[in-house]
C-alpha cells in the first residue's frame, strides 16, 4: 500500500474534523478512509491498475465530498458578494442609504460608478469599495437604444463583480445605490436554496403597470435580486453577446432577466424584496407587510418619510434600530383582540401599531390601507395586492401609533414601544359598544428574543394588561395548535 499517501490523507481529514467537531466530517472521515482503502486494493490488482473506472470513481468521490460539505455548511454573510449599481452624480444624496446597512470588513462587494469619484476622495471606509465600470461604449454603440441611458453598464455589473470576486462565493446580490438591505434576513433567505443549482431570486413590482410594461416574471433591480454562483458562472460566459440581442428593452433588470431565461431559469419569487413602485405615504403598505422576511426597500428617496416628524435619513436610521435588535420580526404583522372593549390590535413590529374600535377579522386587517398611489396610473387595478380605502367611519379608521424605542428587557424578552402619532379626531364606534380608545397614548409590545421562524403561520399575541388609562401592553407569542385568531 502507498502508506505515505494514506497517512497524509488521514492527517488532513483528522485535522479538518478536529477544527469543526462536526458530525459531517466524522462521517466523511470514516467513509473516505474506507473508500480510499478500497481504491488502493483495486489499484494493486493487475486487472485494474490502468482502469478508467478507478480514476472516475476517485474523481466522483472527491466531487461529492466537496459538494456535501458545501450544501451542509450554513450560508453566512461571507458567502455573499454585493454588486451595487451607482452613479457619481447621485452619490452625495444616496450614500447614506448604503452606509446604513453596509458593514465594513464584514460585507463583501463593490459599488460600481460611471466615472472616478474625484470629489469624494479619499473614499469613505463606511461605504463599499468603489470601482469604475468598464467603458464599453464602442462595443455597444449599435445596441444602446434602451430607455435607461446606463442600462448596458448596469446590466454588466454582474459580470464585472464576478470577475472581481469569485472565491468562496455562493450568492451574488445586485442592488441600486438607493436600496436598503436587511442583511441578516437576506442571508437567511438565500440560505434556504442550494447555490450549486441555478437560482434567480427576487421580487417584482408592487405596481401592475410597471410589471406590465416590463415583465411579471422579472426581479426588479431596485428591490435587488440574488443569483446563485452556479447561475452566474454560466451567465457571464456569453453575457455581452446576449445584451446585444436586447437593444430596446428599457432597463438593465429586464435585459438580465431575458439572458437568464435563455439559460432556462425562471424567477423564484420572494416577497421580502421591495421595489416600492409606490408614491406618497407608504405607512399603510409597511403596516401590513406580507408574511415574509423584509429583505430590501427601494425608492426611499421618492416616497414620503416613513416616520412622521422625521426626514428620510432620520426615518431610515430609526427603522434600523429595530432591525439591529431583531431583524427577523421587522414589519411582521401580529393581530389580537381585546374583546371586552371590542378592540382589534394590529402590530407591525418595529414600525407601527393600530387600534380599531371594532372586532375586525384578519382577512380585513391584513389588507394594507391605501395611503399610497401606484407608480403608474395606466393599469386598473393599480396594485399586485388587495388594499382597503381610507375611511372616516369610526369603526374602520384606526388609532395610529409609531415605533418609538426598543430595548432588551431581559435574556428572553424584547420590548418595543409605539406612541400615538396624532389624535384620531373621530367619534367613538357606537356599534361596538361606545368604547373609545382615545385615551391610549402608548402601546408596549413584548416579544421573544429568539429569531422568528417564518415557515408556517404568523405569530399570535395577547392584550395582557392596561397601565392606567393610557398604556396598553401586548405580548407576542407562538400560536397554539389549532388556535384561531379571531
> What string of pLDDT tens digits covers the 486 residues of the chain?
343 343 334 444 444 434 344 444 444 444 444 444 444 444 455 444 444 444 444 444 444 444 444 455 899 999 999 999 999 999 999 999 999 999 999 999 999 999 999 999 999 999 999 999 999 888 998 888 888 889 999 999 999 999 999 999 999 999 999 999 999 999 999 999 999 999 999 999 999 999 999 999 999 999 999 999 999 999 999 999 999 999 999 999 999 999 999 999 999 999 999 999 999 999 999 999 999 999 999 999 999 999 999 999 999 999 999 999 999 999 999 999 999 999 999 999 999 999 999 999 999 999 999 999 998 776 678 999 999 999 999 999 999 999 999 999 888 999 999 999 999 999 999 988 889 999 999 999 999 999 998 777 899 999 998 888 899 999 999 998 888 876
- Can you tell me the distance from the alpha carbon of 284 to that of 273, in angstroms, rounded to the nearest whole number? 17
Chain centroid to CA 5: 46
Residues 220 and 247 in one domain: yes
Residue 450 falls inside a structural domain:
yes
Indicate the Cα dihedral angle 411, 294, 166, 238, nearest 10°. Answer: 170
The answer to whether residues 158 and 184 belong to one domain is yes
Contact 246, 255 (CB under 8 A): yes
Peptide bond into 95 cis (omega under 30): no
Burial state string for 336-371 with b = 16 or more CB within 10 A and e = fewer than 16: bbbeebbbbbbbbbbbbbbbbbbbbeeeebbebbbb
> Which contacts of 166-171 are long-range, i.e. CB under 8 A and separated by 24 or more positions?
166/229, 166/233, 168/78, 168/79, 169/79, 169/80, 169/81, 169/229, 170/75, 170/79, 170/80, 170/195, 170/228, 170/229, 171/75, 171/79, 171/80, 171/81, 171/195, 171/226, 171/227, 171/228, 171/229
Count up the domains in the chain and report the number.
Answer: 3
Residue 295 belongs to a domain = no
Residue 19: its pLDDT value, please?
39
Closest CA to 376 of 466, 278, 308: 278
| CATH code for position 131 | 3.90.550.50
- 94, containing H or E segment: helix 91-101
Q: What 3-state DSSP class applies to 443? A: strand
174 with 252, same domain: the answer is: yes
Spatial distance between the Cα atoms of 354 and 222, rounded to a whole number of angstroms: 30
Task: Please check whether residues 110 and 129 belong to one and the same domain.
Answer: yes
| Residue that finishes a domain, picked among 72, 87, 115 | 72
- Distance between CA atoms of 92 and 111, rounded to whole angstroms? 13
C-alpha to C-alpha distance for 153 and 166, rounded to whole angstroms: 20
Among candidate residues 72, 95, 113, the one where a domain is terminated: 72
Domain region containing 132: 77-274
| Residue 383: Cβ within 10 Å count | 21
pLDDT at 72: 57
Backbone angles phi, psi at 472, to 5 degrees: -105, 140
169 in the same domain as 90: yes
Residue-level pLDDT at 33: 46
Using DSSP bridges, classify how beta strands 278-280 and 268-269 pair: parallel, antiparallel or unpaired.
unpaired
**What are the CA-CA distances from residue 24 to residues 28, 66, 69, 187 (Å)?**
6, 11, 8, 22
- d(C-alpha 437, C-alpha 125), whole Å: 49
Give the CB-side neighbour count of residue 200, counting CA atoms within 13 A.
26
Residue 311 lies in a domain: no
Please, what is the end-to-end C-alpha distance for the chain in angstroms? 72
User: Do 130 and 260 lie in a common domain?
Assistant: yes
**End of a domain among 72, 101, 132?**
72
Domain assignment present for 458:
yes
Same domain, 145 and 257: yes
* Distance from C-alpha of 58 to C-alpha of 48, rounded to nearest angstrom: 13
Map residue 256 onto helix, strand or coil: helix
What is the Cα–Cα distance from 284 to 389, expressed in whole angstroms?
10
In a domain, 114, yes or no: yes
Angle at 288 between CA 286 and CA 290, to 5 degrees: 95
Query: Same structural domain for residues 64 and 90?
Result: no
Same domain (yes/no): 164, 265: yes
The answer as to whether 281 is a domain residue is: no
What is the CA 195 to chain-centroid distance, rounded? 16
- Of 257, 227, 275, 234, nearest to 155 (Cα)? 257
Residue 288 falls inside a structural domain: no
Amino acid at each position: 500500500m502507498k502508506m505515505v499517501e494514506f497517512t497524509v490523507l488521514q492527517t488532513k481529514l483528522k485535522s479538518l474534523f478536529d477544527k469543526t467537531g462536526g458530525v459531517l466530517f466524522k462521517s466523511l472521515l470514516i467513509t473516505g478512509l474506507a473508500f480510499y482503502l478500497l481504491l488502493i486494493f483495486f489499484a494493486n490488482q493487475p486487472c485494474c491498475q490502468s482502469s478508467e473506472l478507478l480514476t472516475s470513481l476517485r474523481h466522483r468521490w472527491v466531487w461529492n465530498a466537496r459538494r456535501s460539505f458545501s450544501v451542509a455548511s450554513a450560508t453566512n454573510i461571507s458567502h455573499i458578494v454585493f454588486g451595487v449599481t451607482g452613479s457619481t452624480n447621485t452619490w452625495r444624496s444616496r450614500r447614506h442609504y448604503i452606509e446604513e446597512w453596509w458593514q465594513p470588513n464584514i460585507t463583501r462587494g463593490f459599488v460600481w460608478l460611471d466615472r472616478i469619484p474625484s470629489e469624494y476622495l479619499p473614499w469613505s471606509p463606511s461605504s463599499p469599495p468603489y470601482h469604475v465600470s468598464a467603458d464599453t461604449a464602442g462595443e455597444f454603440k449599435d445596441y444602446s437604444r434602451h430607455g435607461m441611458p446606463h442600462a448596458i453598464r448596469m446590466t454588466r455589473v454582474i459580470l464585472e463583480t464576478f470577475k472581481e470576486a469569485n472565491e468562496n462565493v455562493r450568492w451574488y446580490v445586485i442592488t441600486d445605490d438607493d436600496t436598503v438591505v436587511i442583511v441578516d434576513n437576506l442571508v437567511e433567505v438565500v440560505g434556504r436554496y442550494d447555490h450549486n443549482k441555478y437560482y434567480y431570486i427576487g421580487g417584482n413590482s408592487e405596481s401592475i403597470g410597471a410589471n406590465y410594461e416590463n415583465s411579471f416574471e422579472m426581479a426588479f433591480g431596485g428591490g435587488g435580486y440574488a443569483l446563485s454562483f452556479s447561475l452566474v458562472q454560466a451567465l457571464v460566459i456569453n453575457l455581452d453577446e446576449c445584451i446585444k440581442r436586447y437593444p430596446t428593452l428599457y432597463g438593465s433588470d429586464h435585459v438580465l432577466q431575458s439572458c437568464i431565461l435563455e439559460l432556462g431559469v425562471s424567477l423564484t419569487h420572494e416577497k421580502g424584496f421591495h421595489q416600492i413602485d409606490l408614491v406618497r405615504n407608504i405607512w399603510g403598505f409597511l403596516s401590513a407587510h406580507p408574511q415574509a422576511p423584509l429583505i430590501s426597500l427601494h425608492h426611499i428617496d421618492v416616497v414620503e418619510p416613513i416616520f412622521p416628524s422625521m426626514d428620510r435619513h432620520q426615518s431610515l436610521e430609526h427603522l434600523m434600530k429595530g432591525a439591529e435588535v431583531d431583524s427577523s420580526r421587522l414589519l411582521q404583522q401580529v393581530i389580537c383582540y381585546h374583546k371586552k372593549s371590542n378592540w382589534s390590535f394590529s402590530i407591525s413590529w418595529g414600525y407601527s401599531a393600530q387600534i380599531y374600535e371594532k372586532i375586525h377579522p384578519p382577512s380585513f386587517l391584513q389588507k394594507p390601507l391605501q395611503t399610497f398611489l401606484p407608480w403608474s396610473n395606466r393599469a386598473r387595478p393599480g396594485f399586485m395586492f388587495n388594499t382597503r380605502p381610507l375611511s372616516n367611519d369610526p369603526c374602520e379608521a384606526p388609532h395610529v401609533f409609531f415605533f418609538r424605542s426598543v430595548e432588551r428587557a431581559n435574556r428572553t424578552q424584547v420590548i418595543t414601544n409605539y406612541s400615538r402619532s396624532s389624535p384620531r379626531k373621530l367619534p367613538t364606534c357606537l356599534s361596538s359598544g361606545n368604547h373609545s380608545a382615545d385615551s391610549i397614548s402608548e402601546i408596549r409590545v413584548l416579544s421573544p428574543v429568539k429569531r422568528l421562524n417564518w415557515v408556517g403561520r404568523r405569530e399570535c399575541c395577547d392584550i395582557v394588561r392596561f397601565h392606567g388609562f393610557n398604556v396598553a401592553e401586548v405580548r407576542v407569542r407562538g400560536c397554539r395548535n389549532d388556535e384561531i385568531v379571531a
